[in-house]
Amino acid sequence: MPTVRVTRRAHFCSAHRLFHDEWSDEKNREVFGDCSNPHWHGHNYVLDVTVEGPVDPETGFVMDLKAVKGAIDERVVRDVDHRNLNLEVAWMRGIRPSTENFAVAVWDRIAPVLPEGVRLQRVFLRETPNNSVEYLGPEGGDR
Amino acid sequence: MPTVRVTRRAHFCSAHRLFHDEWSDEKNREVFGDCSNPHWHGHNYVLDVTVEGPVDPETGFVMDLKAVKGAIDERVVRDVDHRNLNLEVAWMRGIRPSTENFAVAVWDRIAPVLPEGVRLQRVFLRETPNNSVEYLGPEGGDR
Amino acid sequence: MPTVRVTRRAHFCSAHRLFHDEWSDEKNREVFGDCSNPHWHGHNYVLDVTVEGPVDPETGFVMDLKAVKGAIDERVVRDVDHRNLNLEVAWMRGIRPSTENFAVAVWDRIAPVLPEGVRLQRVFLRETPNNSVEYLGPEGGDR
Amino acid sequence: MPTVRVTRRAHFCSAHRLFHDEWSDEKNREVFGDCSNPHWHGHNYVLDVTVEGPVDPETGFVMDLKAVKGAIDERVVRDVDHRNLNLEVAWMRGIRPSTENFAVAVWDRIAPVLPEGVRLQRVFLRETPNNSVEYLGPEGGDR
Amino acid sequence: MPTVRVTRRAHFCSAHRLFHDEWSDEKNREVFGDCSNPHWHGHNYVLDVTVEGPVDPETGFVMDLKAVKGAIDERVVRDVDHRNLNLEVAWMRGIRPSTENFAVAVWDRIAPVLPEGVRLQRVFLRETPNNSVEYLGPEGGDR
Amino acid sequence: MPTVRVTRRAHFCSAHRLFHDEWSDEKNREVFGDCSNPHWHGHNYVLDVTVEGPVDPETGFVMDLKAVKGAIDERVVRDVDHRNLNLEVAWMRGIRPSTENFAVAVWDRIAPVLPEGVRLQRVFLRETPNNSVEYLGPEGGDR
């Protein structure tokens, strides 16, 4: 059976800010610029979740995309859409919501709920039209 | 001289929330849904500003697009990018930051600074991939 | 109150074919080309519905976009998504499903269910990346 | 018969520069900036041509989109794709190739070849992701 | 010589349905949902074909993109555009036209016709704005 | 610390032509087609630069995206935007400006200025909506 990658895209809108609570306001502004604004800002995030596995000969699917969509909605979108990433997302508590950290956290939300035989290959997160991040998992760094 | 329309696009990221301070939390949630979240949410806004006028035979321009960009940056983007539309934008004070009201406010910021002979034709504001608004000005409603 | 236009975008996938049942296969192929293929073909349609009206000072809305979305979903998408436009859509019966006719039919589905004071301004339908159609309503032809 | 607008999109790549041959190099650079570079620069242009007319009850078409495509290809794209707009396009001779002037020239190329009963409604030309122009024809300026 | 990847994009429109002919209608609907509609549905597919190889020092090309386009057109697009993937495509006979299986079949159409020294690296197929698939070939599964 | 990839996108417009100065005009036209036009043509290039490294626990960044943007602007965009790639770019001298060679040259401009611990993972360059190239570096060819 050939191994294929399947990607499902989702959209959501969140507020956040970047800051380090042990740093002065000056240092926060120096490192994070406008992203440290204490009154928040926000983004329309684009999230691509890619899973990889053999194609099931009965269905022609690696995994039903409705199930991938379901996992993304229940494990990620429901918690972050129209929410504040710093204040309201239990699984982001204590994590600075940079796009990098956010992508890793999304990986940790999706990977455990995939069916056997299917592995999470990539989490891609676009924060603005020009800025994006991808995470290939704890063993994916050297590819 | 032919009359032509010229459009300049800009991008910015802001936080906001929709709520009515004379309404109960329940009514706010009923009318505005997740958009009323007191912890804010945000968007990557796309703004198109369209100006209209005769083509200058010397330059071939209706108006130098660098000047349109300058007006958008100085009169709008500088004030709203990485800002909270409810709390931090002087010219949005007292205005509920729906996309409709925001587009009208942007019109009022840009229209007065255009050179003579050029008129503002349209302000288009896209809040999410599926939701957008356009305003054709106080005399444009019946077109 | 300023008059503003608000647009909601929807996506759906349908099959169709173009043909005239009083014409020969040759004439159908001559006029409609590959679009007359008797085994069907299909598209990912993009639909923009634009409504126009005064901004409500209480909400800042012309009309709640959730209600526009609801009208699009119930009156259009539910009937056409993953359906055959020639065979399965009651309100397209007897109508050749060109993009032009489809846009007019969508107008007739949406216009009657809008709230008072809000008028349908435009139905835009993109059939392929390069082909699209817009309909401004029975009184909109001369704008 | 309802009146509908139909749009066909085309893509092409050209080189050009903006300059006024009666001006000094300094004045050209002051007015046109980098666009006056004597060694040229270029763009991937996006062109939308919109025609408007009644829907033919036999075909469901305002006009066969293959014919619109044919007019765009023969009257515009063939002459400008991979060409220098200042040096190689007969119908741009003596015209400064600003996007404004280019759009007007495209109008004049397309309007005369449309079939009776169909009128050219709009020429839209996008020069860069953020800069675009639209021309509604010699009688379209006041809409 | 550096090794570079070159991608050519193509667009086509097809009809299809997902179903298993040994299953009941109920089971087909349960597994494939609306995709099993016996009256078909369809998509605007986006296909990216990526080839990889050393850059030819004479031409600066890995492979002439016109030749990649030619292979895609002759081996894939000509057979599937405005066609029914279940009924009309010889090389899809007996293959359930899921996006996964379709991508593998496209690989098998393109790989044999590439010139020596150039290898097919990836077939990417987007079925809807939110659903896509990529196949890296029979030896590509573990990357 | 997880290893993450971060991508910054940039846009610029350039003129170029493809030709081999030891070949006849006929051979140049045969191999390069319209791309060999001696009067030049041009493109709106899209450039994605991807860097990879561990996430800094203090900032949540692999590398400050403002610094990636700075490197792209200073080392690439400043030299090529509104410029002629054959005539005006010192670091393209003697290099045929195919997209392949251009991507390799961009790699060589960016790689040396990245901070320690961060490596350049990918340069992606889109020349037209349908044609693009990616380079994974001198050791990246076999991935």
pLDDT tens-place string over residues D91-124: 999 999 999 999 999 999 999 999 999 999 999 9
pLDDT confidence bin for F1, thresholds 50/70/90: confident
pLDDT confidence bin for B143, thresholds 50/70/90: very low
Helix (H, G, I), strand (E, B) or coil at D99: helix
Of E11, E42, E129, the CB nearest to C15: E42
Tell me if B129 is assigned to some domain.
yes
Closest alpha carbon within chain A to F10: A130
The DSSP symbol for E34 reads G
Tell me if D142 is assigned to some domain.
no
Altogether, the residues listed in chain E come to a count of 143
pLDDT of residue E143: 45
CATH of the domain at E19: 3.30.479.10
Cα(E130)–Cα(C46) distance, integer angstroms: 13
Instruction: Please give the structure tokens belonging to residue A49.
Output: 């979740």
Sequence-separated (6 or more) residues with CB below 8 Å from residue C22:
none
Q: Which helix (H) or strand (E) holds E68?
A: helix E65-72
B8 pLDDT more than 60: yes
Residue E7, CA distances (Å) to C62, D14, E75, F126, F134 in order: 44, 22, 16, 9, 8
pLDDT along chain A (143 residues), means of 10: 96 97 96 97 98 96 96 98 98 97 98 96 97 92 47
Q: Which residues on D lie below 8 Å from F43 (Cβ)?
A: 13, 42-44
Catalytic residue among D74, D82, D134, D139: D82
Count how many Cα atoms sit within 13 Å of the Cα of residue E117 in the half-sphere of its side chain. 11
pLDDT of residue C121: 95
Catalytic residue among C35, C43, C52, C88: C35
Q: Which residues of chain C have pLDDT under 70?
A: 141-143
Tell me if B142 is assigned to some domain.
no
Q: Which residues on A lie below 8 Å from E141 (Cβ)?
A: 2-3, 52
Q: For residue E20, count CB atoms less than 10 angstroms from its CB and return exposed for 0-12, middle for 13-18, buried for 19 or more.
A: middle
Tell me if A34 is assigned to some domain.
yes
Residue C23, CA distances (Å) to C17, C27, C29, E81 in order: 14, 6, 10, 24
DSSP string, B26-83: HHHHHHHGGGG-TT-EEEEEEEEEEEEEEPPTTTS-SS-HHHHHHHHIIIIIHHHTTE
Q: Is D10 on the interface with C (CB under 8 A)?
A: yes
pLDDT 10s digits, E61-119: 999 999 999 999 999 999 999 999 999 999 999 999 999 999 999 999 999 999 999 99
Q: Is A88 a catalytic residue?
A: no
Report the residue of E12, E36, E39 to disrupt the C interface, i.e. the one with the largest count of C CBs within 10 Å: E39
Structural domain tally of chain B? 1
Helix (H, G, I), strand (E, B) or coil at C4: strand
Sequence-separated (6 or more) residues with CB below 8 Å from residue D10:
C130, D46, D47, D49, D69, D72, D73, D76, D77
CB spacing of E101 vs A60 below 8 angstroms: yes
pLDDT of residue E140: 72
Q: Which residues on E lie below 8 Å from F130 (Cβ)?
A: 8-10, 69
Catalytic residue among E35, E43, E52, E134: E35
Q: Is A127 a catalytic residue?
A: yes
F141 pLDDT more than 70: no
Tell me if E141 is assigned to some domain.
no
- Calculate the average pLDDT of chain C: 96
Tell me if A77 is assigned to some domain.
yes
Tell me if B73 is assigned to some domain.
yes
Q: Which residues on C lie below 8 Å from E44 (Cβ)?
A: 43-44, 128-129
Residue written as token pair 């928040």: A40
Cα(E63)–Cα(E56) distance, integer angstroms: 8
Sequence-separated (6 or more) residues with CB below 8 Å from residue C112:
none
Tell me if F126 is assigned to some domain.
yes
Q: Which helix (H) or strand (E) holds F132?
A: strand F131-135
CB spacing of B6 vs D133 below 8 angstroms: yes
Q: Is D11 a catalytic residue?
A: no
pLDDT of residue B140: 73
% pLDDT > 90, chain F: 96
Q: For residue F98, count CB atoms less than 10 angstroms from its CB and return exposed for 0-12, middle for 13-18, buried for 19 or more.
A: buried
Report the residue of F82, F92, F130 to disrupt the D interface, i.e. the one with the largest count of D CBs within 10 Å: F82
pLDDT 10s digits, F65-102: 999 999 999 999 999 999 999 999 999 999 999 999 99
pLDDT confidence bin for D12, thresholds 50/70/90: very high
Give me the domain span that covers residue E123: 3-135
Catalytic residue among E11, E20, E41, E82: E82
